[in-house]
Chains A and B, each alone.
Chain A
């Protein structure tokens, strides 16, 4: 039984709730600016081209046009990892790449101006498929990336950044195996999380070199850091965060739009706003990386994985910003899921002439597992192993270790998740429904049901650093000063709860600062699942620090030792003597008490999400219907039950489970156009088609912070897609190895249609 808390673990009202339901929360596009200009982007019609000539004279003469920028009149600012992609370049690398930026007094004028710019292109050969891109003679995207292979390693992760898993003795490992399978599987449908709020920014440049940027993101300090690398350290950068209308990891970095607005403001001296249209959001912002894995796996009858060798290809589109980081985290996560002593897993990140991949929830791990679990499944099937038992056996246990993103080996000191897995299996009825590989769990007429299971976990719950200030005002109020934005998880409210718990203060008396990189201390932001443990730790220790300072002031007044003091509802008293209390203000009305808290990275804890799914397949139409989902996890301590439920239910959308059912980005194979860049043709789950979702959440105290809690929000999407592939394969009695499981693919697998398509994997 966990400690009874006043707020922790109880449903409390989110502090932005009234604003959300009344429409008064100010998202970026809702903020009014004086003297504002509006930006539009002229985009490339070709997947690969050089700009030969640009004639902008007609556009410049249009009344209301204030600036037109092209590669010829902007500084040589570059982004990417490494920084080789010019903000406005002469070379265009995908359909939708930026040719020119226009600032005008209205959006319509800017848009009209974009159609008046005449551009002459030299069309270059393009390549869209990763495997084609690495062949000799393939069109080359960058001089810096010979063979279209992006420089490995993510500098922030240090010089030993994980780029491969190599350990043990492969010969020995395969020799010990009782079955060896080899195969290829992909997760190459590059789904797009598409939050409702599009990417955007407002920038105001002040000479000589200061820019203030209003952003929609997860952490303004990350924007400041990223932009500082691009603009140069002599540019003073202030960022102001706003509530985010959904991110799903994509708005960790929105440097493109921020740089566009900055350049245009620099050219005009006025604030410039850029808000992408939904078409731009889908066709010219970021997609999930594409993933293809070729692997050889050795396995024993008891489910022990004896060896894994192979190659993981990550497609990043026309450039990489975070793909190396995703790859490193993905490699770490696959070890957390698969206990194996012998690895030789190599990787390549490949660029092609399509819209870029970027940071997305599931961050590498979802991409790798969606390719790897189907390969493991073939070995399990040969050994007649239950995949649930396999997962339970192989998921990391205390005392075991893994190479994490920085290339260092860590020993896991968290809990054994077997109990959560068992409870989930029980709730789902796994034992009753699992009939063996390629066996439907039920059938009725043309309908076949099938079940699948997947798992994902991440040692990112303690990644990166966080800092927080907690300011006590002695009249009895508290302000958390943090750079965090609210991006939908409700975490800003959760930190208020944590501080309320530490200081035993009514939540109504705890305020939270606006989000910025000007005054608020550094925070890497709510990326991965680090919000509860990493950010929470900083907030808690800031509150504890403030309380300590308060008690140091109160102790002489009360004639007590600091260690003996307590505070409840703004009163201070010695333990057991609440009748002899003083209010905070007795320590002086004229002072500021500022507590500081910091969290430093800890890679020795990991979360875990096991997802069970049941699908129904109509074998006459190929339609796959998701019937039932059970998510099972252990979070140590629930902070906010409805907030947690929302995060777990989120397993469906934002390119999670549905990326195995109907979500995909459709690219013309010869021209590179994204053909479904709108919310009709890009498929998303509606209210009409909700499966049953059941979330099994255990609370086994975990050695994290004061409340012994960890986060799981990010990973809710990740176990589902491979579970769907497994479930559909079981339902129809034949292996599927491509995402999503469209009617076309299901019918082709059932030999009910001759499929002309031979793309994707083969096992």
Chain B
């Protein structure tokens, strides 16, 4: 083992020059560097989405992994973009709130429509994160129970207490067999 390690020692790994990922179905090839249009190694995916790519639907609230406002889908699963480095997203497929509309028709996702129909928001700031968490659940389980919906949203902060209307909105889509 130590022999291998010694050999590896001389073979220093170098920093990547660019990162390529898919965001809302579109391939993005981002340079890594210090210029304004580039991605710094320290940038979170949240920062890149909002500041570099202008996708401000994903919200910054706690920036510390505790509130779910910055939730996006990575390869279909809900993750926190504030605790994810953009440079570590190579090859990943990211979906943000902006990517839920039908790309061809512009029609809202049934989940989005259900949030409107149930007024499942008040101030609306945490809504994109909540919708993305719910979307991740529905991707895996199209007919969740109410308990499963609550569990899937248990990492999402909502201070207005729109929880009850949110659960109804998600269940309505679930029952619709979306």
Contact = CB atoms under 8 A, between A and B. Distances in A.
A contacting B, Cβ–Cβ less than 8 Å: yes
Interface of A: 11, 13-14, 16-27, 29-30, 32, 108, 193-198, 243-248, 277-278, 487-490, 642-643, 645-647, 649-654, 678-680, 684-688, 690, 693
Given A26-B56, A642-B119, A680 B66 contact: yes
24 contacts: A17-B121, A18-B108, A21-B112, A21-B113, A21-B115, A21-B131, A22-B97, A23-B96, A23-B97, A25-B124, A194-B159, A196-B59, A196-B69, A198-B61, A245-B126, A278-B63, A642-B119, A642-B165, A645-B164, A678-B62, A680-B64, A686-B156, A687-B163, A687-B166
B61 A22 contact: no
A653 B123 contact: no
B112 A22 contact: yes
A245 B59 contact: yes
A197 B58 CA distance: 12
B38 interface: no
A24 B62 CA distance: 20
B159 A22 contact: no
Interface string B117-131: 011011111111001
B150 interface: yes
Given A642-B119, A678-B62, A687-B151, 11 more contacts: A22-B108, A23-B57, A29-B60, A32-B54, A278-B62, A489-B122, A642-B165, A646-B161, A646-B165, A650-B122, A687-B150
Contacts of B158: 196, 653, 687
Interface in B108-147: 108, 112-113, 115-116, 118-119, 121-128, 131
Contact of A679 (B58, B67, B127): B67
Contacts of A29: 56, 60
B98 interface: yes
B14 to A, nearest CB: 23
B154 A687 contact: yes
B16 interface: no
A21 B119 contact: no
A458 B108 CA distance: 41
Contact of A245 (B96, B98, B125, B149): B125
A244 B123 contact: yes
A483 B65 CA distance: 35
B122 to A, nearest CB: 4
Given A16-B124, A21-B127, A688-B154, A196 B108 contact: no
Given A196-B61, A679-B157, A688-B151, A246 B66 contact: no
Nearest to B56: A30
Contacts of A688: 150-151, 154
B63 A196 contact: no
A564 to B, nearest CB: 39
Interface string B52-85: 0011111111111011010000000000000000
B178 interface: no
Nearest to A20: B124
A490 B159 contact: no
A717 B49 CA distance: 36
Contact of A278 (B64, B153, B155): B64
Nearest to A685: B161
A227 to B, nearest CB: 24
**Residue from A248, A678, A685, A687 with most neighbouring chain B CB atoms (10 Å):** A687
Nearest to A245: B125
Contacts of A680: 64, 66
Q: Secondary structure at chain A's binding surface: helix, strand, loop or mixed?
A: loop
A248 B160 CA distance: 8
B124 A652 contact: no
B61 A197 contact: yes
A649 B164 contact: yes
Nearest to B42: A108
Contact of A654 (B118, B153, B154, B159): B159
Contacts of B100: 22
Nearest to A105: B36
A645 B57 contact: no
A488 B123 contact: yes
B23 interface: no
B167 interface: yes
B63 A22 contact: no
Nearest to A693: B164
A20 B159 contact: no
A490 B61 CA distance: 21
Contacts of A693: 164
Contact of A645 (B60, B165, B166): B165
Contacts of B153: 687
Contacts of A651: 161
Contacts of A685: 161, 163
Given A20-B124, A20-B127, A646-B119, A684 B60 contact: no
B56 A23 contact: yes
A193 B163 CA distance: 17
Nearest to A19: B124
B174 interface: no
A196 B64 contact: no
B123 A245 contact: yes
Contact of A653 (B64, B67, B159): B159
A679 B156 CA distance: 11
A651 B61 CA distance: 22
B20 interface: no
A643 B161 contact: no
Query: Which of B58, B108, B118, B123 has the largest count of A CB atoms less than 10 A from its CB?
Result: B123
B58 A246 contact: no
Nearest to A650: B161
A196 B125 contact: yes
B65 to A, nearest CB: 8
A310 to B, nearest CB: 33
Nearest to A279: B64
Contacts of B61: 196-198, 278, 679
A687 B122 contact: no
A245 B63 CA distance: 15
A243 B125 CA distance: 9
A684 B57 contact: no
A24 B57 contact: yes
Nearest to B98: A23
Interface in B18-69: 42, 50, 54-64, 66-67, 69
A719 to B, nearest CB: 15
